[in-house]
Structure 1
Amino acid sequence: MDIKQLKFLIALDETRHFGQAATRCHITQPTLSMRLRNLEEELGLPLVRRGQRFEGFTAEGERILAWARSLMAAHDGLYAEASACRGQLVGTLRLGLVPLGGFEPMRLLSLFRRQHPNLRFQLFALSSEQILEGLTRNQLDLGLSYLDRLAREQFDSLELADTRMGLLYDQRHFSFTQTSLNWEQLGSLPLGLLSSGMHFRQSIDHAFRSRGLIAQPLLESDSVHNLLQAVSAGLCCAVMPLNGGLEVGNPHLRLLPIAEAHTLAPLGLILRRSAPRSALAEACFEEARRALADELRLSADR
């Protein structure tokens, strides 16, 4: 067994496709299939369910896959630790992000990049549940997510922002004279909302229900890009974070605050507690902690 076989197995899990996994690993599909069969023979277990295409993993394969992820995390962590011992931090930080969080993630990436110029980043837009699962399975290094469902014994967290909401609209299609809106006023507007089940949408639904109202969106999507397209086309307005920066770069978009509108839980940076934890994740988490402490200190001095 070698480390590449584990990489191939993980790539197959992430792509769910033999050809795409082979392309990601820069090998041919027959080579990928052969190396995975060699791994199965060495372990004496069937790992992959095969038909004309990839059909998933066997129960044994799922268990081996969990070990493969831990071994790959330890392998990557070893090299990251060696770099840290040399006074460098090198590698790829995998960061899971919830859609429409009220904190600009590029602030974090810019901070990490300034401190560690050799870092690279992979960003994944996921639900809060998927982020916690990704951290648990070592598929992610850090998560930027809501903190209400966090098992404190399993994760460290750093609270970053209380996400407030506003109404995003295109001034070519809509006009408002008020400096802020209330939820009752939103009920008469064509709304584009994130899909049900996402934390940001759950907070919107809660705000409507608590006032005896029902959200009846014209458009629902799990894609922020689709919502922005719909707003720009004049199809609808959209409830968005006030500090998300989504209106920046488009001179026609405006963001109007909604009174008493915020998510049910604050947004935070999340790190898994159990080993193996990458040196990259630990270093970046501490950089964020120090930066937040500096911001709070400066605010107190003003």
Structure 2
Amino acid sequence: MIEKLEYLIALARERHFGRAAEVCGVSQPTLSIAIRTLEDSFGVLLVQRGGARFRGFTPEGERVLEWARRIVADTRAMHQEVDALKRGLSGHLRIAAIPTALAMSAMLTTPYRAKHPDVKFSILSQTSIEVLGMIDNLEVDAGITYLDNEPLGRVSTVPLYEEEYRLLTSPSGALGNRDQVTWAEVGKVPLCLLTPAMQNRRIIDRLLRAAGVEPLPTLESNSMIVLFAHVRTGQWASIMPAKLADTLGLTDSIRSIPIVEPAATHAVGLVIPEREVTTPLIGALITEARQLAGVLSKPSLQNGVFVH
């Protein structure tokens, strides 16, 4: 039964019978037969088909899918807990993070691994919408994303820090000699920014438009590393979160200037599936997140180094 439920979850994720079968490591007929067996056992259609094509889930299928995610997640949690009792904490922890928080993920995984050296990690760069979708479909165990800007759905959260915004530019560039700048002023500078699919970009666009400026970036990318590399040439400017800029490493050729009027902030934190049973891997991650939140709340991050 668990295997069939996992096929159903894969179908919900891939929206295609062939791709779902490939992800599950079975043939398409095997997956299709398993889902029809589920339908026979419930006595209702779960999947809408157009010939051999996937057309979506029926209302009954959506409810079964919701239970499938819960049952499969609880089954995985049970296996992890038994394994942890036998061998200590081990396994594979998968985390999806928005681009602006990727550099901060090391502050979670490094102390985690020091305590639990048998745990392996995968860190994936995703949009905020993709982070939540991957958690929902059990593709990742947790995410790092914005908490207060767009709907999160059914997840539990651990706030980590407040994202503040800086103009990154060369000292000789436009506004490069200022101690602080306004959003209206920043909007007049040619900028390289994240692509519109990224929530950070949507936040910046709203702040610029509220200041009466239409965002017209000269370069867009879905990678903060690409943006930072361009800023480091001294020929480009960008808007980045303060902690990210510090973590990437400021040099003499880059100034990080606070943006005011308004001095906007947005909460970033850990998001995990909202379930009664938490896996040991996620439980340990929550512990690290709470400890990190306490450290990040102190104004002591300077150029990526914590000073106590």
Q: TM-score, normalised by structure 1?
A: 0.76
Counterparts of 2:148 and 2:236, CA distance in 1: 30
Please, which moves more after superposition, 71-80 or 207-216?
207-216
Partner of 2:257: 257
Deviations 1:186-220 (A, max 9, x none): 22333233344754234323432454433333455
Q: 1:92 to 1:217 in 2, by over 3 A?
A: same
Counterparts of 1:228 and 1:102, CA distance in 2: 13
Q: How big is the shift at 1:286? A: 1.1
Tell me if structure 1 keeps the 8 A contact 2:195–2:220: yes
Tell me if structure 2 keeps the 8 A contact 1:6–1:68: yes
Tell me if structure 2 keeps the 8 A contact 1:49–1:57: yes
Partner of 2:16: 17
Matched, 1:26 2:22: no
Gaps of 5+ in 1: none
Please, which moves more after superposition, 45-54 or 280-289?
45-54
Counterparts of 1:297 and 1:184, CA distance in 2: 30
Q: 1:151 to 1:87 in 2, by over 3 A?
A: farther
Tell me if structure 2 keeps the 8 A contact 1:102–1:163: no
Q: How big is the shift at 1:272? A: 4.5
Q: How big is the shift at 1:82? A: 1.0
Equivalent AA in structure 1 for residue 257 of structure 2? P
Counterparts of 1:71 and 1:141, CA distance in 2: 15
Q: 1:54 to 1:251 in 2, by over 3 A?
A: farther
Tell me if structure 2 keeps the 8 A contact 1:89–1:119: yes
Counterparts of 1:259 and 1:301, CA distance in 2: 24
Counterparts of 2:31 and 2:110, CA distance in 1: 37
Q: 1:79 to 1:245 in 2, by over 3 A?
A: farther
CA RMSD of superposed structures (Å): 4.2
Deviations 1:67-86 (A, max 9, x none): 11111101100011112323
Tell me if structure 2 keeps the 8 A contact 1:103–1:160: no
Deviations 1:122-168 (A, max 9, x none): 4454454554566567665333122326999x765433222233345
Equivalent AA in structure 2 for residue 54 of structure 1? F
Partner of 1:67: 67
Partner of 2:303: none
Please, which moves more after superposition, 240-249 or 188-197?
240-249
Partner of 2:100: 100
Counterparts of 2:163 and 2:36, CA distance in 1: 49
How many positions carry a matched residue from both structures? 299
Partner of 2:281: 280
Gaps of 5+ in 2: 301-305
Please, which moves more after superposition, 72-81 or 190-199?
190-199
Equivalent AA in structure 2 for residue 266 of structure 1? A
Partner of 2:48: 49
Q: 1:122 to 1:58 in 2, by over 3 A?
A: farther
Q: 1:297 to 1:101 in 2, by over 3 A?
A: closer
Partner of 2:113: 113
* Sequence identity (%): 31
